Amino acid sequence: MLPIWKTIQSFFNHISRHAGSVQSPAVPVVALISNGPDRELLEGIGIRDHLDIHFADTCGEAWNAANRLKSPVVLCERDIPGMEWPDAVRILASAVPHPCVILTSRVVDDYLWKEIVARGGYDVLATPLRDMDATRSIKLALSYWKNTSRGNSHLPVFRK
């Protein structure tokens, strides 16, 4: 039989090993992105920053996923097959949690950004996506969403 102090030490070692493994749920982000390299980059950001990236192939799929998952951020390509981007942004921004919609586009300028905001969107990102820009935009959108009336208190805190 082990001495009591060895039993206690073993118990605390076990607790300390498993204490860091309890994490809050990942923040859901919906991405209507078809470009392979951009998808890979977003998957990497999701793993690193504790985001649960859900890819969709159509605007309808993205809208349903945003509603089902209560996603605070939705990324959307400008060139969506079968739909104009202004309509897609308006539809995606109307999802139940009122997510921040980030449009990805090869061309980014002040005019496009104003058009996005006028249709209920949040930001525009240049493609191909770059890690630092995409991460910054997603973090700022999540922060904005949580600090405005759009946000819900049930979401976990975004990890730095």
Structure tokens, 26: 């990942």
Residue 38 maps to a domain: yes
Residue 41 maps to a domain: yes
Q: What share of the chain is helix, strand, coil (3-state, %, to 5)?
A: 50, 20, 35
Asked whether the beta carbons of 86 and 115 are under 8 A apart, the reply is yes
pLDDT of the residue at 93? 95
Supply the range of the domain harboring residue 83. 26-147
pLDDT of the residue at 19? 52
Nearest of 82, 78, 83, 59 to residue 116 by alpha carbon:
78
For 132, phi and psi rounded to 5 degrees?
-60, -45
Beta strands 73-77; 51-55: pairing state: unpaired
Residue 117 maps to a domain: yes
Residue 4 maps to a domain: no
Structure tokens, 99: 């997510």
Q: Provide the domain count of the chain.
A: 1
CA-to-CA distance for 118 and 74, rounded, in angstroms? Answer: 16
What is the pTM assigned to this prediction? 0.80
pLDDT of the residue at 81? 82
CA-to-CA distance for 104 and 154, rounded, in angstroms? Answer: 28
**Mean pLDDT per 10-residue segment, the chain (160 residues):** 54 51 81 96 96 96 96 95 93 93 96 93 96 97 86 47
For residue 129, the domain's CATH number is: 3.40.50.2300
According to DSSP, the residues that pair with 28 across neighbouring strands are 52
Q: Ramachandran region of residue 107, left (φ > 0), alpha (ψ -120 to 50) or beta? A: beta
